[in-house]
Each structure stands twice: as structure tokens, then as C-alpha cells.
């Protein structure tokens, strides 16, 4: 926390002890928007280039999709392009994707009635009706999601909005809300691989900085399967 206070733009420079005592502090330049203040490093750069026609922070000084860095050229990523997912050693029949749960992460909107209507008050996994029927699962059942790496339990949210062969879950639920405090991270098998081009830096906009450009994962989807949870696991969850 002390490192964040000392290095993050906009944070008032004070000790952690002082920050903890006050509890709430006003950010530097908070009386203005983050778009038009020189201390708001990331958003301000784009604002300045659009509004005041200053050069962009790219090699050419212009908006650019093409990156002729030797690493991007080697991996055929000089331009945005589709890449097939890496093959897993033992793929399972379903591919799971994750989403950013606005209704359970950002506390300032947590009690908004509309957002509350989008969730069920506990972790759930969206599954296709056909996939659910094949496994004897009904909407609202507790299911076990698993692969070779691990398992976790969540409510089945059966919806025709999910295509066959795919399941989906929003992250952001507190681990305490999962059976044995084990969430989706138990089955993530391939997202620990760092993308090589994310290690490039010092090249225009391709430059390491907090929130701006940092090593990313290869992909965030992975294969797994699910089944209806055993009765004893449902009782433990309750």
C-alpha cells in the first residue's frame, strides 16, 4: 500500500499511517476531470492529442494499429489478427469464458435495483439448455465445474443465450460465497502463460507502465465440464 501511495499519480503523498487514520482522502486534481489534467497521465495523453492536436505517443506520432517491432513481426501480430486458441493436453467438451461483473465488483453501484436484477445473489454459471439437459441439470441446481486442474461449485443459470459447448461465469464474487472457498481459479488451466509480445517495451506506445501496458495472458478461456453436484455437497453449501 505504501508503494501505491508513493508512486500512483493523483494519490496525495502521505504515509500509510496517516492515510489509514483519515480513511478517506481527496485525490489530487479531483476537482477536474481526468481527461484534461496533465497529472492524469494515461487519459490525458489521448485528450491532448485529440483536443489540442499534439502527437500521439506512438513511433509515428499518429494513431496506429501497425506495430513494426521485431517481436510483433515474428509472431505475426504487427496488425490485430485472430489466433486460434492453444491446444490443451486433455481438452474437455466445454469451453468456459469469464466476464467482468459490474454488479458485484463496483460497490458504488452494488445496491442499484437494475443491477441487482441481473444476478441471483450468489455465484452462478451460465449454461446452454441442451448441455444442461444432457447432464440432468435444471436451472438453479448446484453444479460442479471441473477439469484436470481442480473443481468449484456454483449455481446453474440455464439460458438459451449461451451457445452449446460453452459456459460462462462473471468473476468478482467473494471466495467466501463458494463451497470450500474455492472459486473459478481452480479450473483455469492455461491463463498462466504470458504472451511474449507483452514483454516488449520502450517502443512508442508499447511501453510498460501501470494500467497502460503490462504482460497479459495468452487467453482467458479454457476447457472444462460440469455435472450436477452430489447431495452432500449441496448440503455443505447450504
- The rounded distance, in Å, linking the Cα atoms of 58 and 65 is 10
pLDDT in tens, 37-93: 666 555 677 778 888 898 988 888 998 889 999 999 999 999 988 877 666 667 799
- Domain 64-238 CATH class label: mainly beta
189 has pLDDT over 70: no
217 has pLDDT over 60: no
pTM above 0.85, yes or no: no
Q: Which of 4-8, 18-22, 82-86, 215-219 has the highest mean pLDDT?
A: 18-22
- The rounded distance, in Å, linking the Cα atoms of 93 and 234 is 24
Write down the pLDDT at residue 228: 95
Longest dimension (CA), the chain: 64
Question: Using an 8 Å Cβ cutoff, are 189 and 104 in contact?
Answer: no
Residue ranges per domain, the chain?
2-54, 64-238
Write down the pLDDT at residue 115: 74
Q: How confident is the model at residue 112 (pLDDT cuts 50, 70, 90)?
A: confident
Average pLDDT (107-126) is 79
Least confident span in 55-59, 177-181, 192-196, 216-220: 216-220
- The rounded distance, in Å, linking the Cα atoms of 94 and 171 is 18
Q: How confident is the model at residue 234 (pLDDT cuts 50, 70, 90)?
A: low
Q: Is 32 left (phi over 0), alpha (psi -120 to 50) or beta?
A: beta
Strand partners, 150: 147
The DSSP string of the chain is: -HHHHHHSTTS----HHHHHHH---PPTTTTS-TTS-TTSHHHHHHHHHHHS-PPPSSSSSS--S----HHHHHTT-SS----PPPPPSS--SEEEEEE--HHHH-GGGTT-HHHHTTS-SS-EEEE-HHHHHHTT--TT-EEEEEETTEEEEEEEEE-TTSPTTEEEEE----GGGSGGG--GGGT--STTPBPGGGG--SBTTB--BTTTB---BS-S-EEEEEEEPPHHHHHHH-
218 has pLDDT over 60: no
Write down the pLDDT at residue 170: 87
Amino acid at each position: 500500500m505504501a508503494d501505491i501511495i508513493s508512486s500512483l499519480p493523483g494519490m496525495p503523498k502521505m504515509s500509510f499511517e496517516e492515510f489509514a487514520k483519515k480513511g478517506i482522502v481527496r485525490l489530487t486534481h479531483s476537482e477536474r476531470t481526468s481527461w484534461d489534467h496533465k497529472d492524469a497521465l494515461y487519459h490525458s495523453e489521448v485528450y491532448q492529442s485529440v483536443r489540442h492536436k499534439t502527437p500521439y505517443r506512438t513511433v509515428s506520432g499518429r494513431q496506429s494499429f501497425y506495430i513494426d517491432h521485431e517481436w510483433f513481426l515474428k509472431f505475426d501480430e504487427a496488425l490485430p489478427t485472430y489466433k486460434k486458441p492453444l491446444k490443451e493436453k486433455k481438452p474437455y467438451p466445454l469451453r468456459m469464458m469469464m466476464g467482468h461483473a459490474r454488479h458485484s465488483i463496483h460497490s458504488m453501484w452494488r445496491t442499484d435495483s437494475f443491477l441487482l436484477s441481473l444476478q441471483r445473489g450468489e455465484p452462478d454459471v451460465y449454461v446452454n439448455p441442451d448441455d444442461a439437459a444432457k447432464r440432468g441439470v435444471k436451472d438453479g441446481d448446484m453444479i460442479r465445474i471441473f477439469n484436470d486442474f481442480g473443481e468449484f461449485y456454483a449455481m446453474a443459470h440455464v439460458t438459451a443465450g449461451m451457445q452449446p459447448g460453452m459456459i460462462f461465469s462473471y468473476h468478482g464474487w467473494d471466495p467466501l460465497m463458494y463451497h470450500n472457498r474455492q472459486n473459478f481459479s481452480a479450473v483455469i488451466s492455461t491463463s498462466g502463460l504470458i504472451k511474449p509480445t507483452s514483454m516488449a517495451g520502450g517502443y512508442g506506445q508499447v511501453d510498460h507502465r501501470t494500467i497502460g501496458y503490462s504482460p497479459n495472458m495468452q487467453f482467458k478461456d479454457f476447457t472444462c465440464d460440469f455435472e450436477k453436484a452430489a447431495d452432500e455437497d449441496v448440503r455443505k453449501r447450504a
